[in-house]
Amino acid sequence: MSDVHNQGSDLNSGASLYRKLDVQSLVSSASPHKLIAMLFDGACSRLAQASGYAMRGDHEARGRCIGETVSIVAGLQASLDHDKGGELAANLDALYDYMQRRLFRANTDNDVAAIREVMDLVRTLQESWNAIDPAVTDLPFGARS
């Protein structure tokens, strides 16, 4: 029985490594515009998972997904170019800060509504970002080259 379990574990490890390599390959070849789009996708995915875990009472998994989302939002925040972005970059910076505070509160209070609020904000930003022509290379915010 342990041999079967170990084989399954080996397969899971191999699949996990393959996924990591695939993501690394995508990241290394992606444009700055695509990288930000990938961050928004990742944040939406983690928030959906966090919401489900919160509703099921899985506090550990919820906390992990929220923590990953906070890291993604911090990455988005760090990508802002305040010199080129001016007021827009400052507003996004404040929004990202707000989102992180809401996520910390959501994690502390198991607050599904706060998770969904941040998810709505991320989706709005994602839709706006995806409306930008990827061929535009001189972006004043969100994707420093």
Q: How would you write the pLDDT of the chain (145 residues) with one tens digit per residue? A: 545 455 555 555 555 544 454 455 555 667 888 889 999 999 999 999 999 999 999 999 999 999 999 999 999 999 898 988 899 999 999 999 999 999 999 999 999 999 999 999 999 999 999 998 877 766 655 554 4
* DSSP secondary structure code for residue 140 in this structure: S
DSSP 3-state of 134: coil
Would you give the distance in Å from CA 80 to the centre of its chain?
Answer: 15
pTM of the model: 0.77
Residues 66, 107 contacting (CB under 8 angstroms):
yes
